[in-house]
Chain A
Amino acid sequence: MSAAAVRPDVEGASARRLALSHMWVAFALFAVGTVLGLYQLLEREGLVATSAPRYYQSVTLHGVIQAFVLTTFFIVGFGYYVTATSLKRPVLWRGLAWLGFWTMLAGTVMAALSIASGRSTVLYTFYPPMIAHWSFYAGAALLLVGSLAWTVITIAMTVRWKKANPGLPVPLPQFGMTANAILWLWTLVGVVAEVVFQLLPVSLGISQTVDVGLARSLFAWTLHPIVYFWLIPAYVTLYTIVPKAAGGYLFSDEMGRIVFVMLLVFSLPIGLHHVFVDPQVAAGWKLVHAFGTFLVALPTLLTGFTIAASLETAGRLRGGRGLFGWIGKLAWNNPVVLGGIFALLLLLPGGFGGLINASYAMDSMVHNTAWMPAHFHLIFGGAVVIVYFATAYALWPKLTGHSLHSSSLAVTQLWLWFLGILALTVPWHYLGILWMPRRTAYTPYDPGIVERWKPWGDLMIVGGVMLILSALLFVANLWLTHRSRAAERETNMAYADTVDPVLAVPRLLNGFTLWNWLLLVLMAIAWSYPIGQFFVLHVHEALPWGGH
């Protein structure tokens, strides 16, 4: 079909506008967050003026931006677009969607101003009884509450589509997005309870003390599944966009569905592994959650196989022969494909490190050392964010109607990011093995201790510089595409076809009712005592302390 033929604009301009608005907020602030990251590296190595308050303020803003703002805005924007294009329907309740956007933006601005004021230097992980100014929690709450609009719209559109198409499989991209919307609702329960019932009342002076154990359990409830909330959209891209961009087919639609269901069910009841060395949780409960943590490695192992197999179909269609010949034939010059390849490569060491952290007692060796931030920068900043880049490169021409400003610049940008992430996180992991504690503004310790760390900290700066260059190239490319006048020929979104056509799938892999009931049971088992104990123990609540 030529570009001049009728273009059924089924997803509607509204989905494109929603997607662009959300994603621009995400990526603009992402660039700011990257600059903060480089500042922190330089400050810690003493290459710019050292200032502990400014360093921790920067860490707070960097964490809030990259973990909450980049992710939530990207996911909601991408989500609307996937829903509209895969179901071929305009976004339902557009007023609600925009209300959600403005609420999220207002919350982001409020939290950012609160951090900038210097009264909310509590890091993005909160850690009561350190208490920030109330505007920090209120801002964070608005950001989260605004995203609820997206969950409601996503789930409602899936339900309506299923009613209109009885017996037909929900398209895989939308199945993944619906899983993520449901996951997000479950995830939010913990942190919202902590903010509403504990942190806001203390920060407003309504309560005088805070139950720290309860707060840490509630935060741990959220802390693990939130990571999968960030990951699932990346998997949607890997399963449904990358194989097509590579010129191949998705190896298995059903395995994708099984993976999305597993991510939803397994990632929720395991959060206690974040408090493995906390004194207020008994060993047995930690062991139960450790066991569950291993189960959540399974969907990622399956995904690695399915995506590699999908890429193989593409490599062979492009003339690749032999056991490894297809690898060289892949479209390495296509940014969407390259992002997918890099993500798979980074998931390997990242996942390996994660298994070490999950290992109950072995975690004591690396807990709160530099190993931890190294781990999540590798697996989130590396594997997940690189797929966000690939997604943006796939979507920008369709969202703006202009062809990508420069594909080769995009390829350069991805190489810079991939190598930059390795240059940053390999020495960082090693610093953890050298027992360097995480999150210190500088290292005023005995020279014999600090000397060992110094060369590795310096190496990290090389990675930091590469990452900031890469981030700026990325945003510039999107901006120039947006402002370009070169019309994109194909603005309709099409997702990857599967090797075998999917005509029907079992009901269990086409909906979430049973899985939600199962989750209710699992969450009751996993959390009723670890949360409930604080209401029966003789707990001494703590006095609040300022974050400054």
Chain B
Amino acid sequence: MHIHPVERRWAWIASALVVVMAALIVYTAVAMGVHPPSNVETIDSTRLHLTPEFAEDNLGVRREKDGRVVARLVMTRYMFHPQEITLPAGTPIVVRAASGDVVHGLHVPGTNVATQVVPGYVSEVHTTISFDAVSKIGVRNADGSVTVGLFCDEYCGPGHQSMWGRVKVTPP
């Protein structure tokens, strides 16, 4: 068996490259707590409206007793409930979403809010919105806030393209 010395050297360089990249990912995950949304929390999607959390009058944005801002959304073919939410920039926010039917995707441009919304599970994303980031891509309103889209980004049926809403981001 003969591997050319130049090729051997390249194999070491390539391996080092791969290990460094993988190590960086593991480091940011473990040391800095950067993880994708993964809360493994089950719910009965056929009875969402009967649960205290996802009943209609509990949807939208609330400041909880412990000070956290929580946005709750239900997604069904082809609607967001509620269709428009207002979120403060620069504040830690928890987004919790559940599907009433098929698999949807929840996606707020300019933020890390991107999660599949799978029937039978609650999706939870933690975010702090950067006003600069959404300003670059959003539409500025007269009151100084910025509006970005709220998209379903997973094919959910023939009306999928019409499943969208708005997120109004207020400056910090």
Binding site for B on A (CB under 8 A): 52-53, 56, 59, 121, 123, 127-130, 211-213, 216, 251-252, 254-255, 275-283, 286-287, 290-291, 294-295, 297-298, 301-302, 305-306, 309, 355, 359-361, 363-365, 367-369, 434-435, 437-446, 448-449, 452, 499-500, 504-506, 509, 533, 537-543, 545, 547-548
Contact = CB atoms under 8 A, between A and B. Distances in A.
B10 A130 contact: no
Interface string B36-74: 111111111110000000000000000000000000000
A279 B149 contact: no
Contacts of A276: 36
Contact of A216 (B77, B118, B157, B162): B118
Contact of B151 (A306, A437, A538): A437
Interface in B146-162: 147-149, 151-162
A504 B2 CA distance: 10
Contacts of A543: 46, 101
B75 interface: no
Interface residues of B, number: 71
Contact of A281 (B7, B26, B38, B103): B38
A282 B42 CA distance: 13
B153 A369 contact: yes
A196 to B, nearest CB: 21
B25 A505 contact: no
Nearest to A506: B1
Nearest to B13: A301
A368 B113 CA distance: 12
Most interface-central of A127, A306, A500, A506 (chain B CB within 10 A): A127
Classify the secondary structure of B's interface with A: mixed
19 contacts: A52-B161, A129-B103, A280-B121, A283-B29, A283-B38, A291-B22, A294-B18, A309-B7, A359-B21, A361-B29, A365-B112, A437-B107, A442-B161, A444-B162, A446-B147, A539-B42, A540-B45, A540-B120, A543-B46
Contacts of A56: 155, 158, 160
Given A286-B36, A361-B36, A444-B164, 19 more contacts: A56-B158, A127-B155, A128-B103, A277-B114, A278-B116, A279-B39, A279-B117, A282-B40, A287-B25, A302-B10, A361-B112, A365-B112, A365-B114, A367-B153, A442-B161, A444-B161, A506-B1, A540-B42, A540-B119
Contacts, number: 226
B43 A446 contact: no
B28 interface: yes
A61 to B, nearest CB: 14
Nearest to B47: A540
Contact of A437 (B44, B139, B153): B153
A478 B40 CA distance: 52
A212 B155 contact: no
B115 interface: yes
B105 A542 contact: no
A444 to B, nearest CB: 6
A491 to B, nearest CB: 33
Contacts of B94: none
Contacts of A213: 118, 120-121
A464 B150 CA distance: 29
A216 to B, nearest CB: 7
